[in-house]
Amino acid sequence: MGKTFSILVTMKKKQKTKKILLKRFRITKNGKVLRKQGFRRHLNAKKSSSKKRALGRVVKLNKIYAKKVKKALGVKKR
């Protein structure tokens, strides 16, 4: 009788892209991560028009969070 040996090969799995992040963030050509601001859905009567306009703008994401978002989206480093 022959003995059989099974070799366990550990392979690194590919990370899947988090699809919800594609809806919420946009990455520019230079690698900046942009997001929309919150606090715009309801309770708008007490907010001034200038405040509501300001909340409608797109802003740059913080550097620490941008790194995490890029990793989750599978964006390569430049």
pLDDT at 2: 62
Closest alpha carbon to 27 in 76, 57, 37:
76
Paired sense of beta strands 25-27 and 58-60, if any: unpaired
In a domain, 28, yes or no: yes
- Reported confidence tier of residue 9, pLDDT bands at 50, 70, 90: low
Burial of 39 (0-12, 13-18, 19+ CB in 10 A): exposed
In a domain, 53, yes or no: yes
* CATH code of residue 55: 4.10.410.60
Q: Give the number of domains in the chain.
A: 1
Calculate Rg over the CA atoms of the chain.
22
What residue numbers bound the domain in which 28 lies?
A: 19-73
pLDDT at 6: 59
Which one-letter amino acid corresponds to residue 17?
T
pTM: 0.70
In a domain, 12, yes or no: no
Digit-coded pLDDT (tens) for 20-73: 898 999 999 999 999 999 998 999 999 999 999 999 999 999 999 999 999 998
In a domain, 14, yes or no: no
In a domain, 25, yes or no: yes
In a domain, 11, yes or no: no
Whole-number Å distance between alpha carbons of 50 and 11: 54
